[in-house]
Structure 1
């Protein structure tokens, strides 16, 4: 596993900095948002697996030729039954440190994901309780609540007693029926495609590794791509001009417009620069709709998905393949 640990470390560095930076600047992602989302998820998963795997394989190197053999050797060492000659002298402090670091990083990532889930769930429950007091059901749209607020506000709230779309009276006064339908379709696409789970995972990644600049890049890129997917869903039933006007009206109010009455409920709520990132995302979405580009060819999208699968397979193979002890 000697060479495997170095290869995993190199892959972790590539996926932690240059690869996400290049992807965040790529222009093709707006033409294939679903494929780009798959690639971002593969980068995050492969990056985390490579970071943990590099330390794990380095620590287990004296105990076996691959991860499984090393873990068996470690188990035998812990219970006082060495699995072979390599375990006769135990582990030196350097390898113990590597194993400890791998364990701590794994626990940190899992614990942060759990805490992020609990925090967002608590925020949404509190938000839903306030909505029950401050909103009324829409007379024309099912699973839609209306809050009494003059600013144009539209968002979706998953979970709880059931997913709902929230609109403000100010928005209803400004939008035509066609524009309102476009907004509702957009928000319901978020709920149907469960974008909240994807955003939660990347919010947890940013919280767990705030010192990693690419965790912020990834969260912003994924948030923008989910908005583009919802826009594409709305274009299935609305004219492009109608959707553009609706987005512009909603953007003029912003999500913070309802902050005086309701707490933020999204995964990015409270993060530094969230308002600026949302403004930039809206500008990119409007530019994409105003100057539409053809979707990336099916062959190109298939190559992206294949690349994502290969990216995930590399650390997996390096972890379990024998003969890499060097």
Structure 2
């Protein structure tokens, strides 16, 4: 029974549940709690997928006088579990290697060609653009000369605060994790909705950090002015996804404590279900 439940949970949490969550825009009003919920759903999906295979492989009935069929099923389950883990590791290696290579090359170009102003690297480009380039060896906040010409001083401050919030919170690591999950599995299993929504939540979190420093109006004006610019690959741009939705959310100043508490409890519950199904039978087998 446990393998069946975990298998169903894995499929639901990998596809249908993220699709339904992405149609709940009210979640964006509490971005911290919403980000926690999305991470819990992703972790629970992986735990369920791996737990389903392990529970079949280590079933007590098949360790004692099991039939050939039972041993065959256990072997197949173990193989599928190893396949899931292997795809996750391979996807993690490919995504991480590609991102770091792109950022390393771009960082070298910036250090060679860009000038420093207001603590950011300024590139000679007419299109207004602003983005950050995360990296363990040294992060960079980048703005174009076109952005500095078009934006007022307080708007530039808002944009820089937005990008530095990304770097401080390491939103790039969260997005990298969801990219790994999305690419590790077939499209009919994984949901692109999760990756898109988490990208939006990361921007909303950075927007709110910038608002606390500079106010809503300078950031809103800056985001509209930067709408035509596009950040390069492996970077995080201020004019990111769902710009209209982000500008509307800037006007939502309510704390929404009740919703935050409910979403956090839901996140804990989502993660607790597969954990219980995996850990409890294992503890019982030990005793």
* TM-score between both structures, scaled by the size of structure 1: 0.80
Q: Which residue of 1 aligns with 2:115?
A: 136
Aligned-partner Cα distance in 1 for 2:252–2:229: 25
Distance 1:236 1:314, change over 3 A: same
Give the alignment partner of residue 282 of structure 1, picking from 239, 243, 247.
243
Distance 1:103 1:161, change over 3 A: closer
2:76 paired with 1:97: yes
8 Å CA contact 2:11–2:189 kept in 1: the answer is no
8 Å CA contact 1:62–1:86 kept in 2: the answer is no
Q: Which residue of 2 aligns with 1:118?
A: 97
2:7 paired with 1:31: no
Distance 1:213 1:171, change over 3 A: farther
Give the alignment partner of residue 296 of structure 1, picking from 251, 256, 270.
256
Aligned-partner Cα distance in 1 for 2:35–2:112: 37
Query: Cα deviation per residue 1:193-239 (whole Å; 9 max; x = unaligned)?
Result: 11010011011111112414653111100000010011101111223
Distance 1:282 1:7, change over 3 A: same
Distance 1:123 1:208, change over 3 A: same
Aligned-partner Cα distance in 2 for 1:96–1:279: 46
Q: Which is further off, 241-250 or 38-47? A: 241-250
Q: Which is further off, 25-34 or 39-48? A: 25-34
Query: Cα deviation per residue 1:256-306 (whole Å; 9 max; x = unaligned)?
Result: xxxxxxx522489xxxxxxxxx775112112323x5362322x33122112
Q: How does 1:224-235 map to 2 (within 5 A)?
A: 224-235=200-211
Return the offset for 1:124. 0.6
Q: Which of 1 and 2 has greater Rg? A: 1
Q: Which residue of 1 aligns with 2:39?
A: 41
Aligned-partner Cα distance in 2 for 1:137–1:267: 19
Return the offset for 1:154. 0.3
Q: Which residue of 2 aligns with 1:309?
A: 268
Aligned-partner Cα distance in 1 for 2:84–2:245: 35
Runs of at least 5 residues in structure 2 that lack an aligned partner in the other structure: none
8 Å CA contact 2:123–2:144 kept in 1: the answer is yes
Q: Which residue of 2 aligns with 1:69?
A: none
Aligned-partner Cα distance in 2 for 1:63–1:145: 63
* RMSD across aligned positions (CA): 2.3
8 Å CA contact 1:203–1:267 kept in 2: the answer is no
Distance 1:189 1:232, change over 3 A: same
Return the offset for 1:98. 1.2
3-state secondary structure, aligned to 2:138: coil
Aligned-partner Cα distance in 1 for 2:266–2:80: 29
Q: How does 1:88-237 map to 2 (within 5 A)?
A: 92-138=71-117, 141-142=118-119, 144-212=120-188, 214-237=190-213
8 Å CA contact 2:165–2:206 kept in 1: the answer is yes
8 Å CA contact 2:203–2:240 kept in 1: the answer is no
Aligned-partner Cα distance in 1 for 2:22–2:253: 18
3-state secondary structure, aligned to 1:245: helix
3-state secondary structure, aligned to 1:146: strand
Aligned residues: 282
Return the offset for 1:133. 1.9
